């Protein structure tokens, strides 16, 4: 069930939090608006993944339907090669979604390209530095932070990178370490993408990346 | 900092017993001897000494000496919740009682006073909702403070509680709880799977009331449903916590049966309390100064066990989050000042395998003991804890749900012997017995308890005449409790449990009744019969996995689709832990002459062990088919992953660790299993550390399945000319040379156990030349040397090899020395001297048939064996007579080995002689002494290790620990 939207960081992007702990009836209702391809993809997952995919996709369709003045099942939503949501150019809309645990996040923008990512704040361990996705400068920034702040900062760096890469349509293959977003919480611009925090409940971090539609950086 | 009391509680209790008996009880074992020789005096003294609150009379300690029927303290009345929550002398009400730790949100702490008040409020709420003494409560909730409050509130009212974890499937939950016939359902639906709560409500029609702990919408339907918070808010005055008989039901627990549904056993309040307080205070020396964290779920008896630590006044920590890596629990321990940390061999092994060093990563200065249970704790894990956790006792404790406590455990008055539990539980006459029931000391036998003990179950549910109870524990050896574990007890009272003696599966500490698997698979139309057995996991030393043997109906085949159906059903209807690692079709399952299925025979066959009870089987021939099918299935994995079968297993093991699920098929998609992008990075890091292969994210993303990853690893690490890193480290590498099959996997167990910080490399030189013919040992060695020099340009070198690999290592040593290099050490693992190097007398001392096997090792040998022995006879075959390409390859390797005349080497050589090879090498070691002037012979347990003769090799799971220890010493 979509929750009330948090204050949107940009006027032209609508952000919706999705409660992924909905009951079975909700899941069944959500399934009824999905395309056969979306249903098939959802069913490939474990029960928890299935549930998440169904609820998230249905929420995305619901938001888009309101924007387009049509029914959720009728929204002309398709998936790109790497799973990125795609809409016909004529709609002027772009969409993104992300989920972490019981929290889903759906973003719909008009006249821009966008990417979103939400993650639970993962416990900090030194192993994170060894995973190869943080740029050296980001590793240094993390090292200067008090230990208690690193979990949040590292997770935020992740969501920022992933938001940009998802916006580009490349996903995490697009070069995580090369996308240097820093570990701070102030809005930044990375390769033409504006990146900022999305307010989410404690325990999660979310980021939104947007770029003007006419000159989408690739 | 916790200050230990000057004297342990055990010492104080011993002094009390000495006072009471007038005996000196300070000799090792004297207190245990007294406790079983004078049980009435022991248990009465214990009850008084603990100062637990009770009323009535303790004059009658036990009603008889019969284990099956004796009752303890029939005239004592007590209340479990009162005993846990009463004000304790010296423990203020604002002392911490429970700290609930969560993933991703702050922990909350309840003081003793607060916990008591919450339990009182909840008891009032439940009583107000109609819960009365004797009503059973099913409580499905995570390991949190709230769950403890509900359980204690029910206990306060005299309502027995049966707990389970919310992530269990509906079928598994119903299989347990329908026997309970609960009056109340208390559920935390937040973590439950879709439809599980509804299935429980529908399947448990005796329930009068549903109470939910979560904030999800209340369900409709006829069953009255309330939020606990609402009930508490509207509750009346707290009812009195009445003291009830010693045997009044407290918990209903489940133990997996090999046949039928799980056994629903009822544990009494008094027995549970007295046993737990005894274990905590006397064996664990737990005090109010301690903080205990035992990693468990509410579905395991360790939850009940740790709960009782409140009776001691200790501070208990709970955790309901995932174990996302080796650091998770150590970080929790450090953050919350845990002094006694309980975990499992599986977690300790995970940490060790990941190269995680707890003491270096987090502050463990408050930890004074580490406890481990759930599976066999291996020798090397004691070393690892000593090195990487600190100089604290590692106490391997073992008992069972059936006794809601331990048979063997720690003690503060004896040192820890590596690999062993320190002591038998006081008051319990625990022994190992042979098949005739005679006690064996210093040898493995069936674990029995020969005297009555208070924590014996009061009885089973749905077992009105006690027949099932009797059959479960008293059928094998009349008059004693037979637990179903194998144990050895030494003369010093220390013990080691060796796993289950029956068909119950124990995988990573989770006990699984095969019948739970059979129930789920009953509805699969293609399956006629099925048997689940436990196999030593070739990819993870010390761990085991489930192999599912399936008899298919006529016309059915074990396709990928059927395999997936089986796995999916088990995952959904039981749990991830029920999903087998391997599904194998077999023509027939082993049964005894009277038609009883023999899981034990199947398990032996699946492990390649000698089948102990083959004579008792109706058709022993089916075992060979089982063995062959398992070998073929394992080899099938090898065909898919070109660089060797263990790779896919190793990759799958990492995958399951990262995802925290056991249900991973070779073609499962990472995202479909719920894996996130961040977890991909953790996975690839583990692949880099453990498997030495750098798999780029892009390559992984193209085929995000275990099979795809295994291929990427194969391509990334052991390409032509590569030198696989078998284990990371610093300093000069230790180099292991592949065997006659060109395989390195046989060294896996050794590599993991080596106590060295140096890296371990594997050399797999081609055994054949460009024209496909076999090269000489010298040529193979030359190739190996040039590969080695690419990664280690100059010496000193440390080389070792088993059998054929040892011959190559010897030739490499000679070649390196000829080039002016130093070889610091050469290790020969049971390498028999080649015929060409033997003098005439030595030749006579050798027997050709024995040496036919000398080069064989690793998995393919089983397949060769089948081809080699169409009949029982062992013919002496010339290589030319053999058409099979695998065997031909092997025999040519052998011929090459036999023709080798090793040159003299200057390096110090350690020859690890397998005990079983002694007769074969007698009179031929002189040949090695000619090669190596500085030869040290170290005898290690085991045989040469070919699977051919069913004898256990020096590199086998059973013996490799000793070999690794001696190998490590020789390396220094």
SS3 labels along B135-170? CCEEEECCCCHHHHHHHHHHHHHCCCEEEECCCCCH
Cβ distance A46 to B571 less than 8 Å, yes or no, reads yes
> A214 pLDDT exceeds 90?
no
Final residue before a domain boundary, out of B717, B734, B757: B717
CATH 3.90.470.20 domain span(s) along chain A: 13-111, 117-212
Nearest-CB residue to B194 (from A27, A100, A125): A27
Give burial (CB, 10 Å; 0-12/13-18/19+) of B207.
buried
Residues B177 and B206 in one domain: yes
Query: Which residues 6+ apart lie within 8 Å of B967 measured at CB?
Result: B750, B754, B800, B827, B910, B912
Q: How far is B227 from chain A (nearest CA, A)?
A: 16
Q: Is B443 on the interface with A (CB under 8 A)?
A: no
The answer for B 286-325 residues in CB contact with A (under 8 A) is 324-325
> Would you state the pLDDT for residue A139?
87
pLDDT at residue B634 tops 80 = no
Phi–psi pair at B567, nearest 5 degrees: -65, -45
Give CATH superfamily name and number for A13-111.
4'-phosphopantetheinyl transferase domain (3.90.470.20)
Chain B contact set for A202 (CB, 8 A): 105
B765 occurs within a structural domain? yes
Angle at B897 between CA B891 and CA B903, to 5 degrees: 175
Mind listing the pLDDT tens digit for each residue in A46-102?
A: 778 888 999 999 999 999 999 898 999 999 998 876 778 989 888 889 999 999 888
How far does the CA of residue B337 sit from the closest CA of chain A (Å)?
17
**What is the CATH classification number for the domain harbouring B683?**
1.10.1200.10
Residue B78 domain flag: no
Tokens of B76: 């004592």
Neighbours of B635 (CB within 10 A): 15
Specify whether the backbone of B493 is left (phi greater than 0), alpha (psi in -120 to 50) or beta: left
**Residues B128/B236, Cβ–Cβ less than 8 Å:** yes
- Please name which of B254, B264, B277, B234 lies closest in space to residue B122, comparing C-alpha atoms: B234
* Domain final position from B587, B616, B640: B640
Pairs of CB atoms within 8 A across A/B = 81
Same domain, B731 and B857: yes
Here the tokens at position B611 are: 């089948």
Q: Is the pLDDT of residue B589 over 80?
A: yes
In this structure, are residues B95 and B316 in contact, taking their beta carbons and an 8 Å threshold?
no
Q: What are phi and psi of B751, to 5 degrees?
A: -60, -45
d(CA A174, CA B109): 44
Q: Count the Cβ atoms, other than its own, within 10 Å of residue B109.
A: 16
**Of B796, B805, B804, B729, nearest in space to B763 by CA:** B805
Query: φ, ψ for residue B852 (rounded to 5)?
Result: -55, -30
Rounded to 5 degrees, what are φ and ψ at B40? Answer: -65, -40
Edge-first strand order for the sheet with B481-489 is B439-440, B430-433, B444-449, B481-489, B495-500
Does one domain contain both B691 and B794?
Answer: no
pLDDT number for residue A216: 41
**Nearest residue to B243 via CA among B372, B347, B157:** B157
The first and second tokens of residue B169, run together, are 């499937």
Q: What is the pLDDT of residue A81?
A: 67
Residue B152 sits in a domain of what CATH number?
3.40.50.980
The per-residue pLDDT of chain B, averaged, comes to 84
Residue of B nearest to A46 (CA): B673
Q: What is the pLDDT of residue B557?
A: 82
pLDDT tens-place string over residues A8-35: 444 488 899 998 887 878 888 898 899 8
Distance CA(B15)–CA(A11), nearest Å, equals 78
Q: Are B709 and B807 part of one and the same domain? A: no
Query: pLDDT value at position A143?
Result: 85
CA B924 from centroid of its chain's CA atoms: 41
Residues B583 and B654 in one domain: no
Q: Name, in order, each residue with C-beta under 8 angstroms of B685's C-beta and a sequence gap of 6 or more.
A: A127, A130, A131, A132
The reported pLDDT for the residue numbered B268 is 98
Shortest CA distance to A112 belongs to which of A5, A6, A217? A217
Q: What is the pLDDT of residue B184?
A: 98
The reply to whether B547 falls in a domain is yes
The values of phi and psi at residue B960, to 5°, are -65, -25
pLDDT above 90 covers a percentage of chain B that reads 46
Report yes or no: A24 at the B interface, CB cutoff 8 Å. Answer: yes
User: Mean pLDDT for chain A?
Assistant: 84
* B 643-672 residues with CB < 8 A to A: 661, 663, 669, 671-672
CB contact at 8 A, A105 and A17: yes
Average pLDDT over residues B555-575: 79
Q: Report how far residue B454's alpha carbon sits from residue B78's, in angstroms, rounded to the nearest whole number.
A: 14
Residue B420: what pLDDT? 94
Tell me the CATH number for domain A117-212. 3.90.470.20
Closest partner residue to A203 (CB to CB) among B104, B572, B677 is B104
- Calculate how close chain A gets to B334, using CA atoms only, in Å: 13
pLDDT at residue number B889 = 63
Does A46 contact B at CB distance below 8 Å? yes
Percent of chain B with pLDDT over 70: 86
Q: Which of B684, B717, B750 is the C-terminal boundary of a domain?
A: B717
Contacts of B526 by beta carbon, 8 Å cutoff, 6+ apart: B552, B553, B556, B562
Contacts of B701 in chain A (CB under 8 A): 171-173
Please determine, for residue B856, whether its predicted confidence score (pLDDT) is greater than 50. Answer: no
B130 and B211 Cβ atoms separated by less than 8 Å:
no
Domain count of the fold of chain B: 4
Nearest residue, CB atoms, A47 vs list B104, B105, B572: B572
How far does B560 lie from chain A, in Å, by closest CA? Answer: 15
Domain membership of residue B797 (yes or no) is: yes
pLDDT at residue B872 tops 70: no
The 10s digit of each residue's pLDDT in B54-112 is 999 999 999 999 999 999 999 999 999 999 999 999 999 999 999 999 988 999 999 99
User: Is B845 a residue whose pLDDT tops 50?
Assistant: no
Interface test with B, best of A47, A55, A161, A203 (most B CBs within 10 A): A47
Radius of gyration of chain A (CA): 17
Looking at the structure, tell me whether residues B805 and B876 fall in a common domain: yes
* Residue B834 covered by a domain: yes
d(CA B761, CA B301) in angstroms, rounded, equals 43
The DSSP bridge partners found for residue B316 are B98, B292
Q: pTM for the complete prediction?
A: 0.53
Give the model's confidence band at B722: pLDDT under 50 very low, under 70 low, under 90 confident, else very high: low
User: Pick from B195, B217, B681: which is nearest to A133 by CB?
Assistant: B681
Least reliable range by pLDDT among B277-281, B659-663, B729-733, B955-959: B659-663
A-chain residues near B217 (CB < 8 A): 23
Residues of B in contact with A158 (CB under 8 A): 678
Number of Cβ within a 10 Å radius of residue A165: 24
A31-40, B124-133, B380-389, B649-658: which has the minimum mean pLDDT?
B649-658
Interface list for B 361-390 with A (CB within 8 A): 361
CATH code of B930's domain: 3.40.50.1820
ipTM: 0.85
- How large is the average pLDDT for residues B322-348? 93
C-alpha–C-alpha distance, residues A23 and A31, integer Å: 13
- Quick check: B528 pLDDT over 60? yes
* CATH number of the domain residue B576 falls in: 3.30.300.30
Q: Is residue B65 part of a domain?
A: no
The answer to whether B448 and B495 have CB atoms below 8 angstroms apart is no
Q: How far is B222 from chain A (nearest CA, A)?
A: 18
Phi, psi of B223 (to 5 degrees): -75, 120
Please, are residues B654 and B540 in contact by the beta-carbon 8 Å criterion? Answer: no
| Average pLDDT of the segment spanning B874-885 | 39
Half-sphere CA count of B540, side-chain side, radius 13 A: 29
Question: Six-digit token pair at A103?
Answer: 């929290």
Can you tell me the distance from the alpha carbon of B607 to that of B601, in angstroms, rounded to the nearest whole number? Answer: 10
Whether residue B672 and residue A100 make contact (CB cut-off 8 A), yes or no, is no
Q: What are phi and psi of B890, to 5 degrees?
A: -65, -45
Q: What are phi and psi of B765, to 5 degrees?
A: -65, 145
- The full DSSP string for A85-135 is EE--GGG-EEEEEEEETTEEEEEEEESEEEEEEEEE-PPP-GGGGGGS-S-
Residue B27 neighbours by CB distance under 10 Å = 8
Structure confidence at residue B6 (pLDDT): 66
Does some domain include residue B321?
no
How close is the nearest chain A Cα to the Cα of B173, in Å? Answer: 17
Tens digits of per-residue pLDDT, B145-182? 999 999 999 999 999 999 999 988 888 899 889 999 99
Same domain, B788 and B929: yes
Contacts of B677 in chain A (CB under 8 A): 162, 171-172
B850: in domain: yes
Q: pLDDT, tens digit, for every residue of B430-457?
A: 999 987 788 999 887 889 999 999 999 9
More confident: B126 or A11: B126
Q: Please check whether residues B767 and B711 belong to one and the same domain.
A: no
For residue B863, pLDDT beyond 70:
no
Structural domain harbouring B519: 511-640
The predicted structure's pLDDT at residue B785: 87
């Amino acid at each position: 069930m979509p929750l009330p939207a948090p204050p949107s960081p940009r006027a032209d992007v609508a952000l919706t939090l999705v409660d992924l702990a909905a009951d079975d009836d909700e899941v069944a209702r959500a399934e009824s608006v999905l395309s056969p391809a979306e249903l098939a993809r959802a069913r490939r997952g474990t029960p928890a993944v299935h549930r998440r995919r169904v609820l998230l996709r249905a929420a995305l369709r619901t938001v888009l339907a309101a924007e387009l003045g049509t029914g959720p099942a009728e929204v002309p939503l398709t998936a790109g090669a790497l799973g990125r949501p795609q809409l016909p150019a004529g709609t002027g809309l772009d969409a993104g979604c992300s989920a972490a645990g019981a929290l889903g996040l759906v973003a719909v923008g008009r006249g821009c390209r966008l990417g979103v990512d939400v993650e639970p704040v993962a416990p900090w361990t030194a192993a994170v530095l060894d995973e190869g996705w943080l740029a050296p400068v980001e590793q240094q920034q993390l090292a200067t932070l008090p230990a208690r702040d690193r979990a949040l900062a590292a997770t935020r760096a992740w969501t920022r990178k992933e938001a940009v890469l998802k916006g580009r349509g490349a996903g995490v293959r697009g070069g995580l370490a090369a996308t240097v977003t820093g570990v701070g919480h102030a809005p930044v611009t990375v390769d033409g993408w504006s990146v900022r925090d999305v307010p989410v409940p404690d325990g999660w971090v979310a980021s939104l990346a947007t770029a003007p539609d006419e000159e989408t950086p690739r | 900092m916790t200050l230990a009391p000057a004297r342990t509680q055990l010492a104080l209790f011993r002094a009390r017993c000495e006072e009471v008996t007038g005996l000196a009880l300070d000799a090792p074992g004297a207190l245990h001897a007294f406790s079983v020789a004078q049980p009435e005096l022991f248990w009465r003294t214990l009850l008084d000494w603990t100062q637990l609150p009770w009323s009535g009379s303790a004059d009658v300690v036990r009603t008889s000496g019969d284990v099956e029927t004796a009752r303890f303290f029939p005239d004592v009345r007590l209340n479990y919740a009162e005993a846990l929550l009463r004000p304790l002398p010296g423990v203020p009400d604002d002392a911490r009682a429970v700290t609930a730790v969560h993933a991703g949100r702050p922990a909350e702490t309840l003081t003793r006073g607060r916990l008591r008040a919450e339990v009182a409020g909840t008891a009032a709420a439940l009583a107000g909702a109609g819960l009365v003494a004797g009503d059973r409560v099913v409580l499905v909730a995570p390991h949190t403070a709230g769950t403890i409050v509900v359980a204690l509130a029910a206990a306060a009212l005299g309502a027995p509680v049966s707990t389970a974890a919310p992530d269990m499937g509906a079928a598994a939950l119903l299989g347990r709880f329908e026997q309970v016939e609960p009056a109340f359902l208390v559920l935390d639906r937040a973590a439950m799977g879709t439809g599980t709560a509804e299935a429980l409500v529908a399947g448990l029609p005796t329930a009068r009331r549903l109470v939910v702990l979560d904030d999800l919408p209340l369900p409709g339907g006829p069953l009255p449903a309330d939020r606990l918070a609402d009930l508490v808010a509207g509750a009346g005055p707290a009812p009195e916590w009445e003291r009830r008989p010693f045997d009044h039901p407290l918990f209903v627990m489940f133990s997996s049966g090999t046949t039928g549904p799980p056994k629903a056993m009822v544990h009494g309040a008094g027995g549970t309390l007295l046993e737990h307080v005894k274990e905590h205070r006397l064996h664990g020396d737990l005090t109010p100064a301690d903080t205990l964290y035992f990693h468990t779920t509410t579905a395991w008896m360790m939850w009940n066990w740790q709960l009782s630590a409140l009776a001691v006044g200790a501070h208990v920590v709970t955790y309901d989050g995932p174990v996302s890596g080796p650091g998770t629990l150590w970080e929790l321990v450090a953050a919350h000042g845990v002094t006694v940390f309980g975990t499992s061999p599986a977690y300790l092994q995970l940490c060790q395998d990941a190269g995680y060093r707890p003491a270096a990563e987090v502050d463990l200065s408050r930890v004074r003991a580490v406890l481990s249970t759930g599976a066999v704790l291996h020798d090397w894990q004691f070393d690892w804890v000593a090195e990487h956790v600190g100089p604290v006792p590692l106490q391997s404790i073992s008992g069972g749900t059936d006794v809601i406590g331990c048979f063997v455990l720690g003690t503060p008055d004896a040192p820890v012997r590596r690999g062993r539990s320190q002591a038998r539980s006081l008051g319990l006459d625990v022994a190992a017995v042979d098949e005739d029931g005679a006690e064996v000391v210093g040898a493995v036998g069936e674990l029995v308890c020969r005297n009555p003990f208070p924590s014996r179950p009061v009885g089973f549910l749905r077992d009105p005449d006690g027949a099932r109870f009797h059959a479960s524990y008293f059928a094998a050896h009349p008059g004693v409790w037979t637990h179903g574990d194998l144990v050895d007890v030494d003369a010093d009272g220390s013990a080691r449990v060796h796993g289950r003696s029956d068909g119950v599966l124990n995988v990573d500490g989770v006990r699984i009744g095969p019948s739970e698997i059979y129930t789920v698979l009953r509805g699969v139309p293609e399956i006629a019969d099925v048997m689940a057995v436990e196999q030593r996991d070739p990819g993870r030393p010390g761990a085991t996995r489930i192999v599912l043997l399936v008899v298919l109906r006529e016309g059915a085949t074990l396709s990928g689709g059927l395999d997936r159906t089986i796995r999916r059903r088990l995952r959904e209807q039981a749990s991830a832990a029920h999903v087998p690692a391997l599904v194998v079709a077999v023509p027939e399952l082993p049964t005894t002459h009277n038609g009883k299925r023999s899981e034990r025979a199947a398990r032996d066959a699946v492990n390649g062990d000698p089948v102990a009870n083959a004579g008792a089987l109706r058709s022993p021939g089916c075992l060979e088919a089982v063995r062959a099918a398992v070998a073929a299935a394992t080899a099938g994995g090898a065909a898919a992953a070109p660089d060797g079968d263990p790779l896919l297993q190793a990759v799958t093991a990492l995958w399951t660790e990262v995802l925290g699920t056991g249900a991973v098929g070779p073609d499962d998609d990472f995202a479909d299993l719920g894996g996130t992008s961040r977890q991909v990075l953790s996975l690839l890091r583990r692949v880099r550390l453990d498997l030495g292969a750098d798999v780029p994210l892009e390559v992984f993303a193209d085929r995000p399945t275990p099979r795809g990853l295994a291929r990427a690893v194969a391509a990334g690490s052991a390409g032509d000319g590569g030198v696989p890193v078998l284990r990371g480290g610093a300093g000069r590498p230790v180099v292991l040379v592949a065997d006659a099959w060109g395989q390195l996997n046989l060294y896996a167990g050794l590599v993991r156990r080596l106590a060295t910080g140096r890296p371990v490399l594997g050399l797999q030189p081609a055994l054949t030349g460009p024209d496909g013919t076999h090269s000489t040992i010298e040529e193979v060695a030359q190739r190996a040397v040039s590969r080695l020099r690419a990664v280690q340009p100059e010496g000193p070198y440390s080389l070792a090899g088993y059998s054929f690999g040892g011959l190559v290592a010897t030739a490499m040593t000679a070649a390196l020395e000829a080039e002016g290099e130093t070889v610091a050490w050469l290790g020969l693992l049971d390498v028999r001297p080649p015929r060409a190097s033997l003098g005439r007398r030595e030749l006579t001392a050798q027997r050709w048939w024995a040496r036919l096997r000398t080069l064989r090792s690793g998995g393919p040998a089983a397949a060769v064996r089948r081809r080699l022995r169409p009949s029982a006879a062992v013919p002496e075959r010339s290589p030319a007579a053999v058409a099979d390409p695998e065997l031909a390859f092997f025999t040519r390797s052998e011929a090459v080995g036999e023709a080798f005349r090793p040159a003299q080497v200057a390096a110090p050589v350690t020859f690890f002689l397998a005990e079983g090879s002694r007769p074969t090498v007698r009179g031929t070691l002189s040949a090695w002494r000619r090669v190596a002037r500085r030869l040290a012979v170290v005898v290690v347990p085991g045989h040469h290790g070919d699977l051919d003769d069913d004898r256990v090799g020096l590199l086998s799971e059973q013996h490799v620990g000793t070999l690794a220890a001696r190998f490590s010493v020789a390396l220094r």
